[in-house]
């Protein structure tokens, strides 16, 4: 177990960062069972396993903080990133539940949702593309690959500044459950939230009318 080996070296750990992950780009219909399974094993179940191993240690210490690095894709999925977004959304949802479950133990949780930062995420070392090819998606896939190729290496976000902000969030008196990083991510989150509220309002009367008659 990774966590057990880490704790054998240092028992004073009180901050756990889950940052393992990679991107998978391509239409949902093209994603194979193998691709989806591996993506979830790394992006979600890897963090899940680390958390389960580390929580007994943090509860015994009576304090701690969990950082789960999710993605803006969890809050605002784009075409061509559906399964990747699903894995990150699962991590974000688990983080929200954990924040409530662990509050009585003085353990806080933050889901970090970064936008475009100049990391290796879009490099050939990280991002992967669906191997299955369906003709109806050829043009959309070509456009998507060209878009991400243009962005690789010139993303506006500075990873060093992001890391410093994450540290500030950890040391804050009331760490956020969601830390949306980058102006682009904040813009997308606000727009998506407004769209969600608009849809709720548009269907509110009919949605409220689904209860059993009094």
Ordered DSSP codes for 84-115: HHHHHHHHHHHHHHHHHHHGGGTEEEEEEEE-
Cβ-based neighbours of 39, under 8 Å, separated by 6 or more: 22, 24, 83, 84, 87
Burial of residue 194, with CB atoms counted within 10 A of its CB: 0-12 exposed, 13-18 middle, 19 or more buried: exposed
- Which two three-digit tokens encode residue 118? 């100049």
Instruction: Give yes or no: 84 in active site.
Output: yes
**How many helices (H) and strands (E) would you count in the chain?**
9, 6
Task: List phi, psi (to 5°) of 165.
Answer: -65, -40
CA distance 193 to 204: 16
Annotated catalytic residues are 84
């Amino acid at each position: 177990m990774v966590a057990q080996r880490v704790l054998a070296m240092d028992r004073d750990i009180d901050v756990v960062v889950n940052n393992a992950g990679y991107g998978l780009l391509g239409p949902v219909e093209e994603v194979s069972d193998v691709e989806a399974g591996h993506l979830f094993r790394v992006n979600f179940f890897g963090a899940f396993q680390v958390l389960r191993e580390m929580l007994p240690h943090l509860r015994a210490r009576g304090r701690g903080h969990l950082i789960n690095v999710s993605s803006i894709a969890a809050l605002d999925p784009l075409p061509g990133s559906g399964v990747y977004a699903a894995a990150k959304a699962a991590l974000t949802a688990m983080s929200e539940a954990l924040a409530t479950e662990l509050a009585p133990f003085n353990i806080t949780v933050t889901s970090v949702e970064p936008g475009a930062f100049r990391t290796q995420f879009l490099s050939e070392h990280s991002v992967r593309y669906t191997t299955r090819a369906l003709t109806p998606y050829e043009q959309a896939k070509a456009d998507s690959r060209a878009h991400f190729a243009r962005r690789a290496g010139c993303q506006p976000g500075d990873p060093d500044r992001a890391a410093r902000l994450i540290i500030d969030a950890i040391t804050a008196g009331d760490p956020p459950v969601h830390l949306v990083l980058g102006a682009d991510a904040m813009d997308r989150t606000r727009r998506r939230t407004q769209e969600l509220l608009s849809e709720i309002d548009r269907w509110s009367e009919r949605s409220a009318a689904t209860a059993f008659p009094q």
